[in-house]
Amino acid sequence: MATAALIPSIDSNVSKFVSQTQKMLINGKHVEAASGKTFATYNPATGEVLANVAEGDREDIDRAVKAARAAFESGPWSRMSPAERGKLIWKLGDLIDKHLEEFAQLESLDNGKPLKVARVADVPLSAAHFHYYAGWATKIEGNTIPLTMAAPLKYLAYTVREPVGVVGQIIPWNFPLLMAAWKLGPALATGCTVVLKPAEQTPLSALCLGELIQEAGFPDGVVNIVPGFGETAGAALAAHPDVDKVAFTGSTEVGRLIIQAAAGNLKKVSLELGGKSPNVILEDADIEAAIPGAASAIFFNHGQCCCAGSRLYVEKKVFDKVVDGIAKQAEKIQVKQGFDPDSDMGPLVSEEQLNRVCGFLESGIKEGAKSIVGGARLGDKGYFVKPTVLVNTNQKMKVEREEIFGPVVTAIPFSDPSEIVARANDSVYGLAAGVWTKDIKKAHSIAAKLRAGTVWINCYNVFDAALPFGGYKQSGWGREMGHEVLEQYTEVKSVCAAL
């Protein structure tokens, strides 16, 4: 809590968040944990306690699920018109825009990301996400279906899409507010009710969002927010017998646990998991665009992106030029605490992630990889890591196979373009991929063969609420965003009437 005093020009609402113990949101009320316990969230730039937060556990999850069930079955939400629902969601988007600075500061303090990045990325994208799903509330349609084996007009058959029910949503810490928006937007548009569990590392912006959800006028119990740890609150939510669906974003390892926990009542599951995304630069690419593009593909958000372009494949003829260019970009990145106006990259989110990323660097270097730039922690206070470019890696090394989730790219030369698709696809993951070339035929034929949920051509990390996102293979089940996600939040009912 000492941190608040050290930071200049802190928003007054933010001071409140970091100076008082934050409660959870259940049935429209801010309440303490049933156990009375709290946990600390830290400022990763300093390692100091930022705020204390009510620690939800099984009993709190149970209270929240009961509230969500009542709101779903018999509350005003269940009788609300789609248009009214859409207006509330739009209003929430507006309120986020209005509180942009407050959210940006909370994200920067709790997660470590540069304030200037949160201001132009995390917060406006979250508002845009709600605005987009506000429009969908009035467009959830079914079909009329002509039966194939019956005479015309013997039956009237149609489908309706109904909300799946009470949804448990478990989100990570890399984009705390945006991940809450990705999850809540489609759930609210379809008429579901929610119990959201933010990540224990970054619970503050979700709790702030909870206040705006109440201010927007959502009925009590429609959105409940229960901060707490994964093994306790998260596991209880995933296993709860009265939850109809669980939506999870996080590690593939925990994704497997979610599936197991969901098996008890066979709740629906959607998963957005890890990645080890290939980013391929062909020799005929616009190299001046590909270099900063590939640097930002890995260094954006400190590499803490599930879709980070962490395996960089570069055609041999341009390999040295590209690697040199990316190393120069890496050297220019100012790694400083997020509130520093010059900061391009803040600390990693936690000591655990610092140790994890440094462990990857050590293992890579021990196995013969060489860091052209970076390769180690920066300083000894806070969880800063130097942007790193590794070369001399091979397909057996952990650094080339596993998700590092830090600012570390492995640059790999290739000489035979006909082999590049197989190499790019040689991963248990399939979340995203990038291709850089001026040859339109090559670009689209490579894109067609990549086993990835998103392929970026001559760009990277372009996100939009309208564009589906999710993974092939072990990168997940289902898609977020676009109209695709609406399927994850609805059941289809076929109605057949004899005429």
Supply the minimum distance, in Å, between the C-beta of residue 260 and ligand NAI.
Answer: 9
Residue (287 or 428) nearer to ligand NAI, CB: 428
Residue (124 or 476) nearer to ligand NAI, CB: 476
DSSP string, 431-458: SEEEEE-S-HHHHHHHHHH---SEEEES
- Contacts to Mg ion from residues 23-62, by CB under 5 A: 41-42
Of 55, 272, 315, 480, the active-site residue reads: 272
CA-closest candidate to residue 13, choices 113, 127, 95: 95
Q: Is 353 near Mg ion (CB under 5 A)?
A: no
Give the whole-angstrom CA distance, residue 106 versus residue 103.
5
| Centroid of chain to Cα 271 | 11
306 is a catalytic site residue: yes
- Contacts to ligand NAI from residues 273-302, by CB under 6 A: 273-274
110 binds, among Mg ion, ligand NAI, none (CB under 5 to 8 A by kind): Mg ion
> Which residue among 216, 257, 389, 411 contacts ligand NAI (CB under 6 A)?
257
Helices within 367-397 (DSSP H only) = none
Q: Is 453 near ligand NAI (CB under 6 A)?
A: no
32 is a catalytic site residue: no
Rounded alpha-carbon distances, angstroms, from residue 298 to 58, 290, 405, 440: 37, 12, 9, 24
Taking CB under 6 A as the rule, which mask of x and - marks residues 303-342 in contact with ligand NAI? Answer: ---x------------------------------------
CA-closest candidate to residue 467, choices 183, 132, 71: 132
Of 306, 307, 358, 403, the active-site residue reads: 306
CB-side neighbour CA atoms (13 Å) of 394: 4
- Contacts to Mg ion from residues 179-208, by CB under 5 A: 201
Supply the minimum distance, in Å, between the C-beta of residue 492 and ligand NAI.
Answer: 28
Give the whole-angstrom CA distance, residue 388 versus residue 114.
19
Q: Is 48 exposed, middle or buried (0-12, 13-18, 19+ CB in 10 A)?
A: middle
> Which residue among 41, 174, 224, 410 contacts ligand NAI (CB under 6 A)?
174
> Which residue among 57, 60, 200, 220 contacts ligand NAI (CB under 6 A)?
200
Q: Which residue's entry shows tokens 């049933």?
A: 34
39 binds, among ligand NAI, Mg ion, none (CB under 5 to 8 A by kind): none
**Four-CA torsion 256, 258, 259, 265, nearest 10 degrees:** 160
CA-closest candidate to residue 314, choices 328, 324, 304: 324
469 binds, among Mg ion, ligand NAI, none (CB under 5 to 8 A by kind): none
Give the whole-angstrom CA distance, residue 394 versus residue 392.
7
Q: Is 107 near Mg ion (CB under 5 A)?
A: no
* Rg, Å, the chain Cα set: 23
Please give the size of the binding site for ligand NAI, defined by CB under 6 A: 26
> Which residue among 55, 107, 110, 315 contacts Mg ion (CB under 5 A)?
110
CA-closest candidate to residue 325, choices 336, 335, 314: 314
- Contacts to Mg ion from residues 122-141, by CB under 5 A: none
107 binds, among Mg ion, ligand NAI, none (CB under 5 to 8 A by kind): none
> Which residue among 92, 254, 290, 421 contacts ligand NAI (CB under 6 A)?
254
Q: Catalytic residue numbers?
A: 272, 306
Residues binding ligand NAI (CB under 6 A) = 170-172, 174, 197, 199-200, 229-231, 234-235, 238, 249-251, 254, 257-258, 272-274, 306, 356, 403, 405
Residues binding Mg ion (CB under 5 A) = 41-42, 110, 201
